[in-house]
Amino acid sequence: MYEESTEYTVAHKAFEEGVKLNFEASKHLTTLNTGAILIILTLFERMFNDKSSAQEMIAALILFLVSIVVSVLTMIALGSAVRDVEFQKKYGRNYAALIMNIIAVMCFVSGIVCLAFSVISNVPTK
């Protein structure tokens, strides 16, 4: 009986460490999104007068904001997964947090692509 509780403790500790890593990844993603938003605001203020470029920048801004919101929701879901040991025993992995994390990363990458296209289209040609 003692081995059973030790085995559970090791499995639970591994689960907690995985959640911590995922939580840290979400924190880094929110930091990157915030930095990208600051870059967009700086570029938008100084560089862009073309309407199509402005639309790309606004799309990137919206994608970064969505990524931040989804990352925060992911961190909340991960926190509740660690607190609720019975949930972890019954259902295993927290798939909602996994799906939200994938959505946040996809929004971030899409925002970077929009930002890159906007900047590239406004590079002055000589």
Contact 55, 6 (CB under 8 A): no
**Single pTM value for the model:** 0.78
Q: Please tell me the predicted confidence (pLDDT) of residue 1.
A: 46
Q: Please tell me the predicted confidence (pLDDT) of residue 84.
A: 67
Q: What are the sequence ranges of the domains in the chain?
A: 2-121
Angle at 61 (CA atoms; ends 110, 23), nearest 5 degrees: 65
- pLDDT category at 91 given cuts 50, 70, 90 is low
Output the average pLDDT for the chain. 81
Residue range 63-89: average pLDDT? 81
Q: Which two tokens stand for residue 55?
A: 């639309």
Q: How far apart are CA 108 and CA 120, in angstroms?
A: 18
Look at residue 33 and tell me whether its pLDDT is greater than 90.
yes
Q: Please tell me the predicted confidence (pLDDT) of residue 85.
A: 61
Look at residue 50 and tell me whether its pLDDT is greater than 90.
no
Look at residue 107 and tell me whether its pLDDT is greater than 70.
yes
Q: Which amino acid is at 15?
A: F
Q: Please tell me the predicted confidence (pLDDT) of residue 23.
A: 87
Look at residue 63 and tell me whether its pLDDT is greater than 80.
yes
- DSSP string over 42-106: HHHHHT---HHHHHHHHHHHHHHHHHHHHHHHHHHHHHHHHH-HHHHHHH-S-HHHHHHHHHHHH
Look at residue 69 and tell me whether its pLDDT is greater than 90.
yes
